[in-house]
């Protein structure tokens, strides 16, 4: 049976990079069957569709993965369609692991003096279904001088334990020695006390892995000072959001950053970290590498680690001595190539 993949290119540069990603994945000759869906701003503006009724059930029943470009369009106020599409999939498919490798692929991309490929190699597992991102809370006396606003952070023992477990399992699978958990347990005594307890319990089940709990502010400093001290970082939704942007900036920027929204063994969603970048859409300037590396993450999830490595190696060679899009010119020098030129070279390398 081929693996079935739902491709949602979305808005802006999403379709430009999704086209490249699928072409590269097809080149690998694997039993992958792609089905394209047109959800995004265009469709929403035309007939009001965000995600059709029953689509999530179809994904659960008939698909192994979603390969997602980006959503967001200046014509849609507040980008309500984007929230409806992405958040619905993250929450309703229970994609509790947000996996973001922050791995430098070329020394010239590092903004840190003396830190290169050997030093910048950490991966963040961000809890993706709870924390401060559930919308729990409310506003009282809105718009008045007496306004009160409350945002509630949800931490469940089950939710925290399963993301901690996923971090240790990831370290074991990759042969990595260390897992660090980031919290703010010195101030957020209740919720982050729970994180400390759940992390310590999980660590006990994985005695071969070095486990360390840190305050997130100390970790943010240390990631700049000595990134080589970290292999796997596990943290909550908010801190993960911030640390992974730091990680993207340390490893070449948005044009290279890949992510997975995963529930192991179930349909999971893979997307580049960047958004729809309306400022450069339709101009051939989009860097397709984040989408290609996102494809490699998806291949690993589907059980093709060798092909994932092949794709990653082709990307590394491309960044080392191939053409690159304008975003990488300040870091790599040379002249800018188009999305399609980079894609053609990558295709040949594969
Ligand atoms: P969102 O809110 O959806 O994240 P955004 O416009 O705020 O959207 P991005 O779309 O991620 O943020 O883009 C931020 C900037 O980074 C863009 O304006 C663009 O110039 C640059 N950028 C993002 N992705 C790429 C890419 N793949 N290639 C080149 N430049 C990119």
Which protein residue's CA is at the shortest distance from atom 1 of ligand 1? 275
Best residue among 9, 86, 275 to mutate for probing ligand 1, ranked by most atoms within 8 Å of CB: 275
Best residue among 15, 245, 277 to mutate for probing ligand 1, ranked by most atoms within 8 Å of CB: 277
- pLDDT for the residue numbered 339: 98
Which alpha helices (DSSP H) does the chain contain, by range? 14-27, 41-47, 55-62, 80-92, 157-174, 189-204, 216-225, 237-250, 289-302, 305-321, 329-332, 339-349
Write out the two tokens for 140.
């009282």
User: Longest C-alpha distance within the chain, in Å?
Assistant: 63
Mean pLDDT over residues 45-61, rounded? 94
State how far the Cα of 276 lies from the Cα of 286, in Å rounded to an integer.
Answer: 10
Counting from 1 in the atom list of ligand 1, the atom nearest the Cα of 12 is 10
State how far the Cα of 293 lies from the Cα of 123, in Å rounded to an integer.
Answer: 14
CB-based pocket (< 6 A), ligand 1: 13, 72, 254-255, 274-277, 279-280, 286-287, 290, 325, 327
Q: Any idea which residues carry the catalytic annotation? A: 133, 184, 217, 241, 245
State how far the Cα of 284 lies from the Cα of 340, in Å rounded to an integer.
Answer: 7
- For 1-96+263-350, CATH gives 3.40.718.10
Counting from 1 in the atom list of ligand 1, the atom nearest the Cα of 289 is 27
Counting from 1 in the atom list of ligand 1, the atom nearest the Cα of 274 is 11
Confidence of residue 1 (pLDDT cuts 50, 70, 90): confident
pLDDT tens-digit profile of 269-313? 999 999 999 999 999 999 999 999 999 999 999 999 999 999 999
Angle between helices 339-349 and 14-27 (to 10 degrees): 10
- Mean pLDDT score of the chain, rounded to an integer? 97
């Amino acid at each position: 049976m081929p693996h079935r993949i739902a491709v949602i290119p979305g808005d802006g540069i999403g379709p430009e990079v999704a086209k490249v990603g699928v072409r590269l994945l097809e080149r690998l000759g694997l039993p992958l069957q792609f089905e394209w869906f047109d959800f995004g701003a265009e469709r929403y503006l035309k007939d009001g569709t965000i995600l059709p009724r029953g689509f999530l059930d179809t994904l659960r029943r008939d698909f192994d993965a979603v390969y997602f470009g980006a959503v967001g369009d200046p014509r849609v106020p507040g980008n309500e369609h984007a929230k409806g599409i992405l958040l619905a999939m993250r929450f309703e498919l229970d994609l509790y692991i947000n996996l973001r490798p922050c791995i430098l692929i070329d020394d010239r991309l590092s903004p840190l003096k003396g830190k290169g490929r050997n030093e910048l190699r950490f991966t963040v597992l961000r809890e993706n279904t709870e924390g401060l991102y559930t919308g729990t809370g409310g506003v009282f006396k809105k718009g008045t001088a007496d306004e009160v606003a409350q945002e509630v952070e949800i931490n469940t023992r089950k939710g925290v334990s399963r993301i901690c477990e996923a971090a240790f399992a990831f370290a074991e699978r990759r042969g990595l020695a260390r897992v660090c958990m980031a919290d703010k347990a010195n101030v957020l005594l209740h919720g982050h006390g729970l994180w400390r307890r759940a992390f310590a319990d999980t660590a006990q089940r994985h005695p071969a892995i070095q486990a360390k709990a840190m305050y997130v502010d100390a970790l943010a400093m240390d990631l700049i000072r000595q990134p080589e001290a970290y292999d796997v970082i596990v943290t909550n939704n908010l801190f993960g959001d911030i640390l992974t942007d730091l990680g993207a900036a340390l490893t070449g920027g948005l044009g290279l950053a890949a992510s997975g929204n995963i529930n192991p063994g179930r349909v999971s969603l893979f997307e580049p970290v960047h958004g729809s970048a309306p400022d450069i859409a339709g101009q051939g300037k989009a860097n397709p590498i984040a989408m290609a590396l996102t494809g490699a993450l998806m291949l690993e999830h589907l059980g093709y680690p060798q092909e994932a490595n092949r794709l990653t190696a082709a990307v590394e060679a491309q960044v080392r001595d191939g053409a690159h899009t304008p975003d990488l010119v300040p870091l790599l020098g040379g002249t800018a190539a188009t999305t399609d030129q980079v894609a053609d070279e990558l295709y040949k390398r594969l």
